[in-house]
């Protein structure tokens, strides 16, 4: 079998047969241009339900047959999609209550996408029917290699519905989870405000209300909404497994999207995919973190199913990317473990809501700058694919992402600055928001969708700047492979998470807990013990009280035992710790709790292993974590892949035999020099370089190491 990186585009032949006078004749021209760009795969049909089933139980696959045949004739493989995100007009007309109901009680209008309620029995049944008919029909087509289920579950605020079907399903879900009303009342603490439930049918959906809802109720509703889409997803996966056992199955995720638990949603997939858009507020580090999160969901390589090629149409601001953008973003994805890159979209739409979204061809059918870059990449990947075969990222540090904790913090943030949709003006002067450098090296606020990764940004960016690979994984993962585990916001603790962290530290690992850790139990109630609750045996230290800092109020930390006595600025949240015998690494410098402990370390020797737990009772930007990592990483034996100037990202994919493929990506707007450990041959150009390497603005250089080499120093 020929080694291959899948490389292609998202294509909508059904649109162009309607919009252009030449109709289906255009398909051949498009396929020829795709092949000229070196493409080998095309994604089709995720929004075509109304064309594939124009009337109830009348299926028309003939037009899709013709489109696939044209692509197949040009040696293009096909990824098909179950078209369930767009229920057809006839279905919504017959059953208008399929459309979701918002928390305010308003029924969503038809005529767009993602209207359907996954708990509506008719929508679910019709989704099963169209998926099964389509899957059966194309199960043996030689061009079809895999399937994408649906499209972006939860997009457009569609993760949660408040209709009567969801109300009934929620009560059933609660009964299965708790077994008895007594258990539910105990778990939710319903004695507060006399909320005790004597009948399952009395439990409401947590729609908009005059006062705040019970946070335990809200957390369970989020879990229920996530489980609803997981069950819908698994229905489609089961159909695909039964009829297409030789095809892969994936789904296109939305990065740090918060409304669904991606670990549960994706458990039955072969690999995950995601849609990579450099929205307003995104930076090279936020995109790198998202790639690492996508890899960490199943801890295997992934695809980018929608890669931006120009302007997008939906962000707060939509500038035209600079030359080299497509190539740089493509190789960044490959560096972090992508085995497939699919560009969205092939051609800019002439009609519909995405007319301002760029394509590889513009609306007039002309090749764009994105097409030229894709064509260059296509020729390069033919040479690069054999080298990348059977390689994947390898990290010695993990950051834990826990959906329960994210939901609990969003439900009760205790400061508006921790809300994911907060306006950037709330945090203009707070240093804790200055967490992500842009391509020029200046510091940006976490705005736009970047807020969705805000809790993980500071430690991640500090490691990214050091060119130290990171895995972003679930807390219950096997953590033994990591030398350092960072849990920046583990607010809620399930028993399994407590056991996983105990086992990790008892096995000799270095655990870093961030502020608000261990405050809540699995039901989103406070533990009846000092924070960090069940993890206190690992920290020794405990939280005496916490202070919430307004955006214009900051604190400074001093490091009593550090050789560098510079203070570190922090903001938003400050916990005063009782060390209880733990080593104090940093204290607060000013204010009425000056001199009190802010960061502690507790070392323990258990069964011969020397584990340690660091507790950060404060929030800050990467500078805070840089100071901490200066103290920890050397002793932990963690080193960068290659030291490089700020703005030059270094990432590696590793084979089982230790062979490394090293990527250097210059995100900055200036040339840099890097000193390499040895002479290299650039796999993209074939050019040989000495140890002193010049890398221009936007340039990508990839080379191969037969064995891991010692880190070099930047110049």
d(CA 557, CA 585): 10
Compute the half-sphere exposure of residue 660: CA atoms within 13 Å on the CB side of its CA: 18
Contacts of 246 (CB under 8 A, 6+ apart): none
**Residue 139: other Cβ atoms inside 10 A:** 15
Catalytic residue numbers read: 152, 306
**Residue 579: other Cβ atoms inside 10 A:** 18
At 91, list the tokens.
Answer: 């279905």
d(CA 8, CA 383): 16
Report residue 238 CA to chain centroid gap.
Answer: 25
Identify the helix (H) or strand (E) that includes residue 50. Answer: helix 49-52
d(CA 331, CA 381): 10
d(CA 666, CA 672): 8
Identify the helix (H) or strand (E) that includes residue 228. Answer: helix 215-243
Residues 56 and 50 sit within 8 Å (Cβ to Cβ):
no
User: Between vectors from CA 16 to CA 13 and to CA 21, what angle results, nearest 5°?
Assistant: 140
d(CA 347, CA 366): 9
Residue keyed to tokens 């916990």: 575
Identify the helix (H) or strand (E) that includes residue 383. Answer: helix 369-388
d(CA 78, CA 72): 8
At 550, list the tokens.
Answer: 């307004």
Residues 14 and 352 sit within 8 Å (Cβ to Cβ):
no
Positive or negative CA dihedral for 557, 560, 561, 567?
positive
Residue keyed to tokens 């990579």: 276
d(CA 322, CA 309): 11
d(CA 353, CA 332): 29
SS3 string of 565-616?
Answer: CCCEEEECEEEEEECCCCEEEEEECCCCCCCCEEEEEEEEEECCEEEEEEEE
Contacts of 23 (CB under 8 A, 6+ apart): 16, 17
d(CA 632, CA 638): 9
d(CA 359, CA 355): 10
Q: Which residues of 600-628 are buried (b: 16+ CB within 10 A; e: fewer)?
A: bbbeeeeeeeebbbbbbbbbbbbbbbbbb
What 8-state DSSP symbol labels residue 489?
Answer: T
């Amino acid at each position: 079998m020929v080694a291959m990186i899948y490389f292609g585009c998202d294509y909508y032949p059904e649109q162009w047969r309607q919009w252009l006078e030449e109709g289906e004749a255009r398909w051949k021209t498009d396929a020829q241009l795709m092949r000229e760009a070196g493409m080998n795969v095309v994604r089709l049909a995720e929004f075509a339900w109304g064309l594939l089933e124009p009337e109830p139980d009348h299926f028309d696959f003939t037009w899709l047959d013709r489109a696939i045949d044209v692509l197949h004739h040009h040696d293009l493989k096909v990824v098909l999609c179950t078209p369930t995100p767009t229920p057809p007009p006839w279905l919504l007309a017959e059953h208008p209550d399929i459309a979701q109901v918002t928390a305010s009680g308003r029924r969503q209008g038809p005529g767009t996408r993602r209207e359907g309620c996954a708990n509506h029995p008719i929508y679910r049944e019709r989704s099963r029917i169209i998926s099964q008919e389509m899957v059966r029909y194309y199960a043996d087509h030689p061009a079809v290699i895999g399937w994408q289920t649906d499209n972006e579950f939860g997009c457009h605020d569609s993760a949660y519905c408040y209709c009567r079907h969801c109300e009934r399903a929620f009560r059933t879900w609660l009964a299965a989870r708790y077994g008895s009303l007594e258990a539910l009342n105990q778990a939710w603490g319903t004695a507060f405000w006399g909320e005790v439930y004597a009948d399952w049918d009395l439990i409401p959906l947590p729609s908009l209300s005059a006062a705040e809802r019970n946070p335990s109720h809200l957390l369970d509703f989020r879990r229920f909404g996530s489980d609803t889409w997981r069950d819908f997803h698994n229905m489609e996966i089961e159909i695909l497994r039964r009829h297409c056992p030789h095809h892969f199955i994936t789904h296109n995720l939305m990065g740090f999207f918060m409304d669904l638990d991606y670990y549960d949603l994706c458990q039955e997939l072969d690999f995950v995919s995601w849609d990579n858009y450099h929205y307003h507020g995104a930076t090279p580090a936020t995109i790198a973190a998202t790639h690492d999160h996508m890899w960490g969901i199943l801890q295997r390589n992934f695809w980018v199913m929608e890669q931006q090629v120009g302007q997008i149409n939906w962000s707060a601001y939509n500038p035209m990317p600079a030359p080299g953008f497509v190539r740089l973003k493509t190789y960044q994805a490959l560096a972090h473990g992508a085995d497939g890159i699919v560009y969205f979209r092939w051609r800019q739409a002439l009609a519909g809501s995405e007319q301002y979204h760029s394509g590889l061809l513009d609306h007039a059918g002309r090749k764009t700058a994105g097409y030229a870059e894709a064509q260059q990449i296509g020729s390069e990947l033919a040479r690069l694919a054999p080298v990348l075969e059977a390689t994947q990222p390898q990290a010695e540090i993990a950051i834990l992402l826990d959906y329960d904790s994210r939901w609990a913090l969003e439900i009760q943030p205790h400061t508006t600055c921790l809300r994911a949709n907060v306006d950037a003006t709330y945090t203009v002067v707070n240093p804790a928001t200055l967490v992500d450098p842009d391509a020029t090296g200046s510091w940006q606020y976490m705005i736009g969708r970047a807020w969705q990764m805000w809790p993980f940004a500071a430690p991640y960016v500090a490691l990214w700047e050091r060119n130290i690979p990171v895995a972003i994984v679930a807390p219950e993962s096997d953590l033994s492979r990591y030398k350092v585990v960072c849990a920046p916001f583990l607010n809620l603790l399930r028993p399994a998470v407590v056991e996983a962290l105990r086992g990790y530290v008892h096995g000799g690992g270095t655990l870093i807990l961030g502020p608000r850790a261990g405050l809540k139990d699995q039901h989103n109630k406070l533990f009846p013990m000092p924070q960090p609750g069940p993890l206190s045996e690992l920290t020794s230290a405990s939280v005496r009280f916490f202070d919430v800092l307004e955006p214009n109020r900051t604190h400074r930390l001093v490091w009593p035992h550090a050789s560098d006595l510079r203070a570190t600025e922090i903001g938003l949240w400050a916990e005063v710790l009782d060390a209880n015998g733990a080593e104090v690494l940093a204290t607060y410098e000013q204010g009425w709790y000056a001199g009190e402990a802010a960061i502690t370390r507790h070392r323990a020797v258990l069964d011969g292993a020397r584990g340690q737990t660091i507790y950060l009772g404060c929030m800050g930007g990467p500078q805070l974590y840089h100071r901490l990592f200066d103290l920890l990483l050397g002793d932990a034996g963690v080193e960068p892949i290659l030291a490089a100037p700020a703005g030059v990202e270094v990432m590696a994919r590793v084979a089982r035999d230790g062979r490394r493929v090293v990527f250097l990506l210059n995100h900055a707007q200036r040339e840099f020099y890097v000193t390499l450990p040895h002479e290299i041959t650039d796999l993209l150009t074939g050019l040989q370089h000495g140890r002193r390497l010049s890398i221009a603005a936007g340039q990508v250089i990839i080379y191969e190491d037969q064995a891991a080499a010692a880190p070099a120093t930047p110049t």
